[in-house]
A and B are shown apart, each in its own frame.
Chain A
Amino acid sequence: MRPADLTPVARDVMKLPAGPGLIFASLVGAYLFNSLPWGGWALLARPDLVLVVLVFWAMHQPGSVGQGLAFALGLAMDVGDSMLLGQHALAYVIATYGAQVLRVRVLSFPMLEQTLHALGLFIGASAVIVLLNLLLGAPFPGPAAALSPALAALAWGPLTWLLHLPGLRRMRRESAA
């Protein structure tokens, strides 16, 4: 196995288990990022890192991160963004379901194709939120909203690298020993 392989197929992922500490810390970090004082145009284009991290763990740690956690995080986002309770929850649950179904297929691809799959999931999640708000009578948010899933997808590659670092390092240490 190549030590710096960032696109492990599904069975190799099992060799890089992440502890609950890393999962929790990454989700808290993502939530902090989402809670930065975004405003106006930047707020619409804000990449939803919580969603990215959630989808990442749903694919790489299907045993520990699932739709229940997605629902809870969605509620937390709704409270933080003072939106109608349940909007983010619905979007996150749908994206997590997509991640669970596509998991083996996505992880067998190299990074570029993975990113495109992730982009699809993120577009779906943003579309759910925008559509729900249009249903509730909000005006169309404008083209900046389309940037958000694209930026989130751009974060997929770097996040994969970052969140695999501890596991890779441990593996290298063990093989050196």
Chain B
Amino acid sequence: MIHEPPPFFHRGPSPLARLTFFALLAIATMIADHRFGALEAVRLSLSVLVAPLQQVAGAPAVAFSRLADYFASQDRLMRENRELEAKLLDYAAEAQRSRLLQAEQDHFLAMTPSRSRFATDGMLAEVLARGRNPFVRKLVLDKGLTQGIKAGMPVIDGEGVVGQVTAVGTFTSEVTLLTEKDQSVPVMLTRNGLRAIAVGSGKDGSIDVPFMPVSADIQNGDLFVTSGIDGTYPAGLVVARVTAVEKNTTYVFAKITARPAAGVDNHRFVRILTAQRPPPAPAEARAEERRPAKDRPAAKGRRQP
């Protein structure tokens, strides 16, 4: 005797079978996305579908902030204007000096066939929203694939490095902030040229500089700038100022905390630095790392134009 429902009650696989199927599919999706980053195309095409809805949802807030801007008080505008003028004077002196330095650098670069470590080209972008993921620190910008944005481009504001573009949609892109956990930047101390890696702490407004020996010459108030040796961040961008140095001789490393110079959370406009040096091919690079340093002339040869 077969105990099956009559065909007009047929409802497909049981809920448990469906659950197993979809749960496995979801887990496979997560693994594919996390481990292999294989689903960027899926994310991109879904984001095209979802983007209009998000724009509709965001419209009231945008309209409100535009309105608030429009009715901004005279007093605030004048104060802002004064501050900007003072800054402009500051920067004018800097700019003149930097022009001189730039000329010198061009002169030197003309003699050596490598490319500039410093930031040149950039693109202004408006911050559309903070990412709606409570576990990750991200910003959404209004420039995407169509404007030539690529993942990996650094993002700065008037004060320093904000973060790095990590995902690009058709018309928007996502910036992972410096303060995001495990987001790292190669930095250099301006006072003595000490090189280090700054790593986001996962807390707002603070980044760590791990693995510095207790004897390292780092003081409160020291300024970290990008060192430019990674091929992603141009050299000389302000990253953070040291706020706490805890040197406990019972530990091997000093505990160094720094505060990002950029107003990581409170800006409407940022600048995406679009001029990138072509990164070395990952597979080759890894092979090179495994090779001892003395037989690496191939790497140098490849960088030359």
Which residues of chain A have a CB within 8 Å of any CB of chain B?
28, 31-33, 35-40, 43-44, 66-68, 70-71, 74-76, 79-87, 89-90, 93-94, 97, 100-101, 132-133, 136-139, 141, 145
Contacts and interface: CB of A to CB of B under 8 A. Distances in A.
B33 interface: yes
B127 to A, nearest CB: 11
Contact of A138 (B42, B135, B138): B135
B29 interface: yes
B101 interface: no
Contact of B43 (A36, A67, A79, A90): A79
Interface stretch (B11-19, B105-113, B277-285): B11-19
A80 to B, nearest CB: 5
A138 B130 CA distance: 17
B182 interface: yes
Contacts of A40: 130
Interface residues of B, number: 44
Interface stretch (B20-28, B71-79, B238-246, B297-305): B20-28
Interface in B42-61: 42-43, 46-47, 49-50, 53-54, 56-58, 61
A79 B136 CA distance: 14
Contact of B136 (A68, A71, A82, A93): A82
Contacts, number: 122
B135 A71 contact: no
Contacts of A33: 57
Contact of A81 (B15, B42, B132): B132
B153 to A, nearest CB: 17
Contacts of A137: 181-182
Contacts of B130: 37, 39-40
A37 B58 contact: yes
Q: Counting chain A CB atoms within 10 Å of each CB, which of B22, B27, B42, B134 scores highest?
A: B134
Contacts of B50: 76, 79-80
B84 to A, nearest CB: 27
B23 A83 contact: no
A90 B47 CA distance: 19
Given A39-B130, A93-B23, A137-B182, A86 B53 contact: no
B47 A79 contact: yes
A94 B57 contact: no
Given A84-B30, A86-B33, 8 more contacts: A28-B53, A35-B57, A36-B57, A37-B132, A79-B43, A84-B34, A89-B26, A133-B135
B132 A93 contact: no
A118 to B, nearest CB: 18
Nearest to A39: B130
A130 to B, nearest CB: 9
B39 interface: yes
A39 B131 CA distance: 8
B202 interface: yes
Nearest to A33: B57
A160 to B, nearest CB: 22
Contacts of B34: 84, 136
A101 B135 contact: no
B133 interface: yes
Contacts of B208: none
Nearest to A43: B134
B135 A90 contact: no
28 contacts: A32-B53, A33-B57, A35-B132, A37-B61, A39-B132, A40-B130, A67-B19, A68-B18, A75-B42, A75-B46, A80-B54, A82-B140, A82-B167, A82-B174, A85-B30, A85-B39, A86-B27, A87-B26, A89-B22, A89-B26, A89-B29, A93-B19, A93-B26, A97-B15, A136-B135, A138-B136, A138-B181, A141-B134
A137 B15 CA distance: 32
B129 interface: yes
B283 to A, nearest CB: 25
Contacts of A43: 132, 134
B30 A100 contact: no
A139 B134 contact: no
A85 B33 contact: yes
